[in-house]
Amino acid sequence: MDNNRAVDRLINNLKKFELKYIPEKPKTFLEIMGCENRETISSNILKFFLDSEEKHQLGDLCLRVLLSLYEPEYSNKSFCVKSIKTEVATKKGNRIDLWIKTEEELIIIENKIYHTAKNPFDDYEKTARKEIETLSNEKGVNLELISILLGFKNYNKSFKSITHFDFLRKLKAELVNYTDNNYVLFLNQYIETMLKKDTSSELYKMNKESADFVRNHIEEIEKLEEIVRNTCSYYETQLKNVIATLDDEALGIEWTKVEHNDDSAIKYSGAFSYSKPLKLRRDTYQLWLGINVSTICVGICFYKNGSQKDCYQKTIEKFAKCIQDYDKDAKEVYLLDEKNIGFTEEEIAKKFIEVIKEFQEKI
């Protein structure tokens, strides 16, 4: 009775929320390589794509998008990069992440990933202004200094603060016209890697709401998990009872439980299945019967010339979708997939026998 009241409270509270499940995005190449948080890797990628003369065929697009966030008027200006470097040393031994010279600008960028912005920005700017002064005296070229702090949040520093997220979202919108460019595929991977770090994104908001809900209702959820375990136990018992009624000698079936991994999706859906190979003529047929909380599944795998392979792993992983093919000779012959709504053991057994007999008649 206490369990029922706890679950009722949980359901009533669930109705007040609009919790959504947002599937986690697949890993990017940078995440697979374990370098998604390394500033030097990020700076090297930015160096390549911010260079208007590189082979990416994007021209000044990336630099123009970045500088449009520095000053909107730059969105309509063309830029020709004369040189671009990373880790430029100052006289004091400090290092500027990105150093870009165009025809009219000297752009210095501090690329910040997670770390706090405690850099010697005055030294950076002093070094850049010294370079501008030298070029003015020696070549009569007067460059405008553009100082950018590219980070995960807006910093109150002398450099103009621009977030990776604002830059990359705006850039991503521009890249829709470059779908045939292989370099853009990598750039989009970099963009997706960085955008995953945005704690203001919908994914973070929804996950936080879910986490808050669980924290606030942990006792009710624990009781619900106990009920789920009992439900799973009931359905396995029900399936065993069905199998016990299938000692039909005419069918020639003896049953063994299908072994599968302890996957949480299986455990909590209450999915169980039993199976037995059936030899007819020279061919082998794998018969299986499964019951879970919502579905009754009957499947038959066919393998030519008695070639048997394990046909259960994906069947278990995608139980509701039932049978899958596993080699070039395998195919699905017959499938029954019905909602498990109030079926008794006798009704399930009857349905299964009907399926098997119809299959035997066909072959």
What separation in angstroms does the CA of 359 have from each of 3, 21, 29, 280, 348? 45, 40, 47, 11, 17
First to last CA, the chain: 53
CA dist., res. 184 & res. 259, Å (int): 45
- Rounded CA-CA distance 136/11 in Å is 72
Which residue, 278, 288, 329, 292, is CA-closest to 312? 288
Torsion of CA 69, 72, 74, 75, to 10 degrees: 90
pLDDT of 340 higher than 90: no
What band does 21 get if pLDDT is binned at 50, 70 and 90? Answer: low
Q: pLDDT tens for residues 276-329?
A: 665 555 556 666 677 766 677 766 665 544 444 444 333 333 332 333 333 333
Question: The pTM is what?
Answer: 0.57
Q: Count of CB atoms within 10 A of residue 107's CB?
A: 24
CA angle at 240 for the pair 237 and 245, rounded to the nearest 5°? 130
List of residues 6+ apart from 95 with CB closer than 8 A: 87, 88, 89
Spatial separation of the C-alpha atoms in residues 193 and 28, rounded to whole Å: 6
> CB neighbours of 164 closer than 8 A, spacing ≥ 6?
113, 150, 151, 152, 194, 197
CA distance 78 to 61: 9
Q: Are strands 144-151 and 105-111 parallel, antiparallel or unpaired?
A: parallel
- pLDDT at site 150: 94
pLDDT above 70 as % of the chain: 64
H/E run at residue 334: strand 331-339
Name the average pLDDT for the chain: 76
Burial pattern 216-253, b for ≥16 Cβ within 10 A else e, equals ebeebbebbeeeeeeebeebbebbeebbeebeeeebeb
pLDDT of residue 205: 65
CB–CB of 263/43 below 8 Å? Answer: no
**Residues 293, 295, 299: CA angle, nearest 5 degrees:** 135
